[in-house]
Chains A and B, each alone.
Chain A
């Protein structure tokens, strides 16, 4: 690791100011990707601004028919939240399956989505649940937020403050983990709204990160059952391919995980 300066921000405004002052500053929001990357000397930020101790970024609360989760809330907190378990069980299950216990007690939802690892779990939930991301500058929809592999709509000086998830009638997440890293090789989040509309979002498999599967969504809107998606496959053309799984294998996993998610949600 290269030497860096650590700052603990006391408020979002403080974090923004510290970030603005730094030569090449980075927000530290759990550090479960950033710190290993720095240890490998693949990143060398001059300053780290830790946002995980900012009170206004912590916590989970009900906001009308939605659940608002502060950006610095850990995966373990989301997984253990009675509110989340009750309103959006698929989201609690997703959070409880991220990494391992150590990762879940350090990693945060804001850190995860701002990094937008194509194999991370959360992006699928945000897109499938039509979540809204709030930053210190604006609010934007999940689909506008994620713009590509490790890419988001965030400006360099922009800080995610919370994510708001509308409650779903049904939700579930099924993930096939990479045997080595345990990141998603294909993770499918299925959410049905009260009006019967369905969203299906896939993480882990796409070259450009999270994506929706409209054909599955319309099939499930008319028949919310595992069989409705069992025969629907996504094209392997834009899927990831590596030593752990070809794009064709990932395409198969998308169908199987979609089926299992629907089964779990039913």
Chain B
């Protein structure tokens, strides 16, 4: 591969195995005597489980066992947990209903498991699961979060009257009220953030192997954070003590957040493996994925923005209802609160902000973090408001934003966050230049001559990555710390293994992390292996989500590298009889500055392990570990601009151009960063125009397959994304990195909707902007123009 340091567009080391079909995913794993699990799932959104008759299923060919929730609870397996405590504004803790991995009494969403069949083959298990007779007594269901809070609505959990989980607030309400009293202009909107299904390419899967002699479990699973999975499975679900449970997340085909959580199925596989004394595998099919993977977004908000006579924002008031589904998933409570409302200041100097968030139970699959998690909802709300306010006060959307940009750092917002560094004008300028903003009017006129409506829309986003420091998130209710760990093992011949607590499921860590070592020691990236995803190999780590593996995970590696470098230099100085301060490392060699004396990295590594001639008192070996806990969040930011053409006859929207100008701080591998942005933008465009997880009033999921759930495809997208980056270094971590994994999905939806609403001259558009919705609005505006 070569020596590829920081900034090199190194090709991905992992791609050889992925594109030649040699990846090793959970479903590729087998074990002697393995049985297959198939779940019996509720067809009802809300029903009492009256009885479960498994006698016919038990007699079917190949069936080993039919297990139910009653047995699971009887064996002391714990309820699923929510790992972030939120308190309502009255100080009371959130109202949490019990979630059992298989439900013995009341099912609360379509697809919830009530029993599992273990059989010799997957087909036998499925056949037998279909033969389990479950008698249900149907109850009224509620799927709309706003309606769920009304008196008389069906109640999901006795712990949560009116289905209210919490009624939380942030900011200074009195200051906001004062700002509105003195406002020269108020912009008010109702804003919906549509519900999404995450759709990683690889569905969830688990293979649980119980060793009856050692009383030890091994779990292969599709996890973004295997150590957290082990911790939760052990400490809360009582499956096994930590040292008797090994969790391996091998190659994982995408997660987007949906594989952070510890779901019922992997718990049940572990428990069933012990009960049946055989390995148990479960692989989700795509329909199960739609029905049971945690969904994302689903907010209904009312937002008001106050501006003064000079068009400076003086206040922002937001009321949001967040649909959390039927149960509280692992980090669900934090998404519409600390990952959402803390970003409502955007890139703007807003002196007063108040947000009230009500989180609500409904008879739908649980909702949790999905690429961006809270920050897309905040960005969409704020950037729709900015565009709308600009139209209302008659200022260009760029001008209104520029007028209100934060320009001095650090900047303390009224909603917890303290922005450390940024240059918002720089990314706005770059994006406007890239799309030729000034030439838009001419392009619009040309499009009109072809009967097309052309529009342009901006989005200036900010987000927060590398959620931390641990003490701070702990004070806000987090149940875990949010640091990361690394160990750098130099082998006696000078090759290196890096053990990281981060987990790569598409991010390219095997390449970018190796580039850090290449940069530091001048070694070939092929001399470096990145080891991750196995709790028996790697020290405890927190995993990968929230765009944290650069800013937090790589910082831990840097800290460990600092220690390795220091020790290597001590050894080299000793061997070459030079002062430690005179040793430099370059091109894989340790040199004495100003002389021709040098040792190769291999020679120094070997010396560390032979230990024949080490400085007095030095321990042999060359292996160092580090834990890194950041001092602050990081704040990636940028401007996205979308230009569209709408066909008013059909409502079809074509994205003609999409430009992105991002500030991700230090970039290790620009090619991989571009890939992240491409994927993020595509998901954001998917949310804006195509994707919608829709339930009918009875709680049946209408979009449970790709026949109805519309994923973005190549021909839905612009011919190219034009990307640029502007670097302001993050002062909070040693590399100055900010994170790039979610920005595209966070920043793009409002750019798209702002562009379409600009094109059609109507602002009353919700996501996804389907052709029919756009056509309807075109009808209205055409009619209005005619009158």
Contact = CB atoms under 8 A, between A and B. Distances in A.
Contacts of A253: 650
Interface in B676-698: 690, 692, 694
Contacts of B692: 243
Contacts of A179: 690, 710, 716, 770-771
A256 B649 contact: yes
| Best-buried of A2, A176, A180 by chain B (most CB within 10 Å) | A180
A244 interface: yes
Nearest to B651: A249
Contact of B709 (A180, A245, A246, A256): A180
Contacts of B518: none
A245 B706 CA distance: 16
Interface string A242-255: 01111001001100
Looking at chain A's contact residues, is the secondary structure mostly helix, strand, loop, or mixed?
A: loop
A246 B775 CA distance: 11
B771 A181 contact: no
Given A245-B772, A246-B772, A181 B649 contact: no
A1 B124 CA distance: 11
A244 B616 CA distance: 76
A243 B123 contact: no
Contacts of A1: 123
Contacts of B649: 252, 256
A181 B650 contact: no
Interface in B740-787: 770-772, 775-776
B472 to A, nearest CB: 42
Contacts of A3: 123
Given A40-B287, A179-B690, A253-B650, A244 B772 contact: yes
B287 A243 contact: no
B442 interface: no
A253 B651 CA distance: 10
B650 A243 contact: no
Nearest to B130: A41
A2 B123 CA distance: 8
A180 B708 contact: yes
B585 to A, nearest CB: 53
Interface in A197-236: none
A181 B775 contact: no
Nearest to A257: B650
Chain B contact patch, size range? 20 to 34
B189 to A, nearest CB: 24
A176 B706 contact: no
A240 to B, nearest CB: 13
Interface string B540-575: 000000000000000000000000000000000000
B702 interface: yes
B703 interface: yes
B309 interface: no
A1 B710 CA distance: 24
A3 B126 CA distance: 12
| Best-buried of B651, B690, B711, B772 by chain A (most CB within 10 Å) | B772
A176 B650 contact: yes
B686 to A, nearest CB: 11
A181 B706 CA distance: 7
A180 B707 contact: yes
Interface string A153-194: 000000000000000000000001001110000000000000
B123 A181 contact: no
A181 B708 contact: yes
Contacts of A256: 649-650
Nearest to B694: A243
Contact of A252 (B130, B694, B709, B775): B775
Nearest to B771: A179
B710 A180 contact: yes
A180 B775 contact: no
A246 B711 CA distance: 21
A243 B708 contact: yes
A180 B706 contact: yes
Nearest to B649: A256
Interface string A1-31: 1110000000000000000000000000000
A170 to B, nearest CB: 22
B511 to A, nearest CB: 32
Contacts of B710: 179-180
Interface string B707-725: 1111100001000000000
Given A180-B711, A243-B692, A249-B771, 9 more contacts: A41-B130, A180-B707, A180-B709, A180-B710, A243-B702, A249-B772, A249-B775, A249-B776, A252-B649
30 contacts: A2-B127, A3-B123, A41-B126, A41-B130, A176-B650, A179-B710, A179-B716, A179-B770, A180-B690, A180-B703, A180-B707, A180-B708, A180-B709, A180-B710, A181-B706, A181-B707, A181-B708, A243-B692, A243-B694, A243-B702, A243-B703, A243-B708, A244-B708, A244-B770, A244-B772, A245-B771, A246-B772, A249-B651, A249-B771, A252-B649
Closest 3 CB pairs of A and B: A180-B710, A249-B772, A181-B707
